[in-house]
Structure 1
Amino acid sequence: MNKNLLILLFAALFACQPASETSEVKISEESLKAHIQVLSSDDFQGRKPFTEGEIKTVNYLVDQFKAYGLEPGNGNSFTQEVPLVELTAIPSETMTIEGNGQTVELNVLEDFVAYTERVVEETSLDASELVFAGYGVVAPEYGWNDYEGLDVKGKTVVVLVNDPGFASGDSTFFKGETMTYYGRWTYKYEEAARQGAAGCLIIHETVPAGYPWLVVRNSWSGASLYLDQSGENYQPNVLGWITRDAAIKIFEASGQDMTNYAEMSRSEDFKPFSLGLNASVSVKNKIKRDQSQNVIAKITGSERPDEYIIYSAHWDHLGVGQEIDGDSIYNGAHDNASGTATMLGIAEAMSKMETKPKRSVVFLAVTAEEQGLLGSKHYAQNPVYPPSQTVANINMDGITAWGPMKDLTVVGYGQSELEDIAQKVAEQQGRYIMPDPDPGKGYFFRSDHFQFAKVGIPALYASGGYEHMTKGVDYVDSLNQVYLSTQYHRPQDEYNPDYWTFDGMALDGELLMKVGLEVANSNDWPKWKEGSEFKAIREQ
């Protein structure tokens, strides 16, 4: 055979091979940049649910998925309706604590915040008995039950923030300084609801909470969004926080010796008890209902189409708000146009592979993360794909655009076997894997993967953000400090061409894509690790 003809035949044969089998499928840096510039532009008005910014964002995402040739992810639709209700809570000016011959008056915002998730115009606690329930934790895997032998129906529980392991000095007690699910304030309210309590008040302290009282009073003042699930789930009448000083006043009025209430509450001998006091407070609501949208697209698996890997990222941000330094549009370039753009980059790259994954891959852009992970919560409660058939979730929230990183930081390190796969891929990229350096803040419970974890689906939340490939740790730390102090949840979270680059974002995207593809092409089901509070849910 003619040598040149042979070369041409080999070249033609090589060209016909699927890209996924002959070369690395790369994520386009230009695409990432374009997505972020569009999504974080002033024209998108900060991407808040119920605004023109939501309409533009949802249309943009649907158009991109269609352009990549992806299938609708919810039957014939690319969207899933998420019914939301906006409640503007107006609590009474005071909370009155009476009993034991004592009266304590607490002032709203100064001493307490109060609200309700009940979709009602008014609710209250009327001389509701106060019960101290320690950390308010029921954790079978740790042999811990703060409600054991206690009937709190119609009563108000007073509980501590974080979990018994915090500040215990024992890394084997719960998870030591690493916050567990049981330490999150959301868990406290959920458990109080399961116990049938009429109210739940969390005692705030800055160190175990991870944020000052100012954050509490600002977060629970004004309008908030919730899932509109009236009548479906029991909710206490009143939820709230009290300051440490207010708690001490209550404890003193009870006549109980509670000098070391935190230490007492982490003792294995702790038993909940009535404070001998009653609380009265009321909450009025302004109510507004509307629909928001999750966006869902899919690549159907070639061999096991009824098993699913779900990539998630929240598309929303804070919209138009208080003016800061002459700007009132909260663009959310890092939070979370970056994660949404990375998910689009993965979807585009996978769409170009001629050999499709064996399991189905789903791309889920969720709404209302900033209002309490509501879009992902709605999906978890109303799944398009059954949790029992969902193999894994890979979540993207805040992908660093400051260049390639040596690290892959795993939030919730030690939770699932997905991080073992991620470590292997990171090493192939010449990178190392590391735990979240600040595990006491409970970041694992503060993004959308948490809602998947709560229904038992192993979840990975990881990206580079500690050590730059060439500029080191201090360079990244300085940018992190600037972001947290001057840009996070402010209008200044904008695309900055002076130092934003997309090579690191593409590197993270390719890593997360490879993790997803390995799971998609495997027969294995990644598991939760021993000690994970979600392991028992999956095994059920």
Structure 2
Amino acid sequence: MRLLVPLCVLALVAGCTHDSGEAAVGFHFDEQLYRNDIKTLASDAFEGRAPTTHGEQMTLDYLVHAFKSIGMQPGPDGSYLQKVPMVSYSASEQQQITLAGIPLQYRKDIVLNSHHDIKRVDIENAPLVFVGYGINAPEYDWNDYQGIDMHGKIALILVNDPGFANPDSGKFDGKAMTYYGRWTYKYEEASRQGAVGAIIIHQTEAASYPWSVVEHSWTGPQQDLVTENAQPRVTVEGWITLDAATAIFAKAGHALDLAINQAAHKPTQLPLGQTATISFTNSANYGESYNVVANLPGTVNADEHILFTGHWDHLGKDNTLEGDKIFNGAMDNASGVAGMLAIARQFTAAAKAGHGIRRSVTCVVTTGEEQGLLGSRYYAEHPLFPLEHTIGVFNLDSTNIYGKTKDFTIVGKGKSELELYLTAAVNQQQRQVKSEQHPESGGYFRSDHFSFAKYGVPAVFAGGGNEPIDEATAKYKEQMQQRMKGCYHNTCDEYQADWDLSGALQDLAVYYRAATMLGNSDAHPGYYEGTEFYSLRPATHIKL
């Protein structure tokens, strides 16, 4: 299908020109408003925006007021809030953990949780089994569980997938992580296999983050969705450091590095002849969190929706820490939420000026992303606007704070025709579209767009770039990266008054242009043949 409007459809707003900034199409993102939204949402007053806390209520109040002021309408039920039933599991910090006869220290060596409504976890002498990457993938002729009964046993599992360690094997997707490499999949598969526990062996390069991220993210209350048809789940799940795992393998008479090498080349099951004893108290607290949903009806095809997604939540606060206890989440993801508000302002301003687009624009600001994409998963399972009429999803997560770039990154590039619209908008800025530098980190599976992709809705996660626009920007970027080093999921992810947000504004313009083109067309993008989601919504051969 051919688009019914050319790239310069944005001339409805102002004439098309070739310029590297947002002024190219005659509109202007107000940097001060954008900056103030980031600063406010990431302030200590919001307490790190953890779901079901006082910080959540402040966040919801702020966002609802903002969308009302902007002129966006509530969801079809008349509310800006979509209730998301959640349960918070809290494992005790005092855990007795012995693997292969070796006592392990919680946080330092291992983190464990239980997503079950039970008051105490007591596992005695559960056999330990190394199952390689913990993957059962018939399409890759790969099954790490082949021929082994995991009932009553604890699986020790490598992070990522065999393609990462052995990219020339032709298996999986080389260095680019598949969904089989994600920790969520590994716990799911171990549960399907009947294991009593699943523990992932942490490796910084393979995980794409250090142990400190594991410690901060997998300790404290762990949220999950309350579902009517809950699937089987292991009793305990968690992570173990590479050093601790190495000691366990040595106690069993095996070398972990050799086992890792074998697991990269063929499906692997290795009973260690050792057991685990685990004991800790546990609690479950039920509550409600909320997605924020705001809609701008289209002028012609109002029943067709273009979604913008981004998560409002972060990690809250940790009173066990010395000094700063608040995980402010300025970059991740106050910056993305502020970007959604900025884009919403542009669409409503255009509509008020008589230049509204034909399809509806809907913002879904999600809860619980940091706990496993909970809010977006819930929306995809209980959509307020039908997914079959959801044309595409643009996701904003951790926008660019490092200045303007010559390029623009599409994470998981090559998946869907939705990328065509981003590419056209990027080209208008005289920038170049590129894939992410580290596909092995599995970025496509780590943010809210993925919840929609699993249902076949074309969804993209993009923004930023790696080539600064000039030498001065390159110098600034290097200095700021050093300042922000180690701040991902840490207390130092705080708003900085000297952030150069010009690159973020570039990217917001790309999203706005791309959504406007799609919104004024009759095209229905799909996934390219050979991708995971092609069978759910095949590409329709769109040409721009």
TM-score of the aligned structures, taking structure 2 as reference length: 0.84
Letter in 1 for 2:70: Y
CA shift in 2, pair 1:267/1:488, >3 Å: closer
In 2, the alpha carbon distance for the partners of 1:437 and 1:148 equals: 34
Matched, 1:306 2:309: no
Equivalent of residue 77 in structure 1, options 76, 79, 102: 79
Question: 1:305-338 CA deviation, whole Å, 9 max, x = no partner?
Answer: 3332210111223444469996555443322222
Equivalent of residue 52 in structure 2, options 50, 59, 71: 50
**Per the alignment, in what secondary structure is the counterpart of residue 302 of structure 2?**
strand
> Match of 1:6?
none
Letter in 1 for 2:96: E
Matched, 1:484 2:485: yes
In 2, the alpha carbon distance for the partners of 1:21 and 1:301 equals: 22
Equivalent of residue 97 in structure 2, options 69, 94, 97: 94
Give 1:427-438 correspondences, 5 Å limit.
427-438=427-438
Matched, 1:336 2:301: no
Give 1:210-225 correspondences, 5 Å limit.
210-225=208-223
In 2, the alpha carbon distance for the partners of 1:312 and 1:282 equals: 40
> Match of 1:392?
392
> Match of 1:316?
313
Give 1:60-209 correspondences, 5 Å limit.
60-90=62-92, 92-97=95-100, 105-170=103-168, 172-209=170-207
CA shift in 2, pair 1:493/1:171, >3 Å: farther
In 2, the alpha carbon distance for the partners of 1:487 and 1:112 equals: 20
Matched, 1:280 2:277: yes
For residue 452 of structure 1, report the CA deviation from its aligned partner: 2.3
CA shift in 2, pair 1:287/1:230, >3 Å: farther
CA shift in 2, pair 1:480/1:258, >3 Å: closer
Give 1:402-421 correspondences, 5 Å limit.
402-421=402-421
CA shift in 2, pair 1:329/1:200, >3 Å: closer
For residue 150 of structure 1, report the CA deviation from its aligned partner: 4.2
**Per the alignment, in what secondary structure is the counterpart of residue 463 of structure 1?**
coil
Given that 2:306 and 2:391 are in contact with CA atoms closer than 8 Å, whether structure 1 keeps it comes out as: yes
Letter in 1 for 2:264: R
> Match of 1:494?
495
> Match of 1:13?
none
Give 1:225-240 correspondences, 5 Å limit.
225-229=223-227, 232-240=230-238
Question: 1:106-147 CA deviation, whole Å, 9 max, x = no partner?
Answer: 454454332111122123434334333221113344333323
Given that 1:65 and 1:297 are in contact with CA atoms closer than 8 Å, whether structure 2 keeps it comes out as: yes
> Match of 2:21?
none
In 1, the alpha carbon distance for the partners of 2:257 and 2:43 equals: 53
Letter in 2 for 1:221: T
Structure 2: runs of 5+ lacking an equivalent:
1-10, 17-24, 540-544
Given that 1:42 and 1:329 are in contact with CA atoms closer than 8 Å, whether structure 2 keeps it comes out as: yes
> Match of 1:473?
474
In 2, the alpha carbon distance for the partners of 1:508 and 1:458 equals: 19
**Per the alignment, in what secondary structure is the counterpart of residue 370 of structure 1?**
helix
> Match of 1:529?
528
Of residues 141-150 and 82-91 in structure 1, the stretch that sits farther from structure 2 once superposed is 141-150
For residue 364 of structure 1, report the CA deviation from its aligned partner: 0.8
In 1, the alpha carbon distance for the partners of 2:538 and 2:138 equals: 14
> Match of 2:509?
510
In 2, the alpha carbon distance for the partners of 1:176 and 1:285 equals: 40
In 2, the alpha carbon distance for the partners of 1:223 and 1:368 equals: 12
**Per the alignment, in what secondary structure is the counterpart of residue 301 of structure 1?**
coil
CA shift in 2, pair 1:215/1:295, >3 Å: closer
> Match of 1:520?
519
CA shift in 2, pair 1:140/1:75, >3 Å: farther
In 2, the alpha carbon distance for the partners of 1:373 and 1:341 equals: 19
In 1, the alpha carbon distance for the partners of 2:494 and 2:342 equals: 21
Aligned residues: 516
**Per the alignment, in what secondary structure is the counterpart of residue 265 of structure 2?**
coil
**Per the alignment, in what secondary structure is the counterpart of residue 79 of structure 2?**
coil
CA shift in 2, pair 1:75/1:128, >3 Å: same
Question: 1:410-431 CA deviation, whole Å, 9 max, x = no partner?
Answer: 2223333323321221110111
Of residues 292-301 and 352-361 in structure 1, the stretch that sits farther from structure 2 once superposed is 352-361
In 1, the alpha carbon distance for the partners of 2:154 and 2:53 equals: 37
In 1, the alpha carbon distance for the partners of 2:446 and 2:243 equals: 27
For residue 252 of structure 1, report the CA deviation from its aligned partner: 4.9
Given that 1:163 and 1:180 are in contact with CA atoms closer than 8 Å, whether structure 2 keeps it comes out as: yes
Give 1:244-263 correspondences, 5 Å limit.
244-252=242-250, 260-263=258-261
Whichever of the two has the greater Rg, that structure is: 1
Given that 1:20 and 1:355 are in contact with CA atoms closer than 8 Å, whether structure 2 keeps it comes out as: no
Given that 1:119 and 1:230 are in contact with CA atoms closer than 8 Å, whether structure 2 keeps it comes out as: no
RMSD: 3.2
CA shift in 2, pair 1:115/1:69, >3 Å: same
Given that 1:81 and 1:291 are in contact with CA atoms closer than 8 Å, whether structure 2 keeps it comes out as: yes
Given that 2:311 and 2:337 are in contact with CA atoms closer than 8 Å, whether structure 1 keeps it comes out as: yes
For residue 363 of structure 1, report the CA deviation from its aligned partner: 0.3
**Per the alignment, in what secondary structure is the counterpart of residue 346 of structure 2?**
helix
> Match of 1:9?
none
Question: 1:407-464 CA deviation, whole Å, 9 max, x = no partner?
Answer: 2122223333323321221110111122222222333333222322333322211112
Structure 1: runs of 5+ lacking an equivalent:
1-16, 98-102
CA shift in 2, pair 1:178/1:286, >3 Å: same
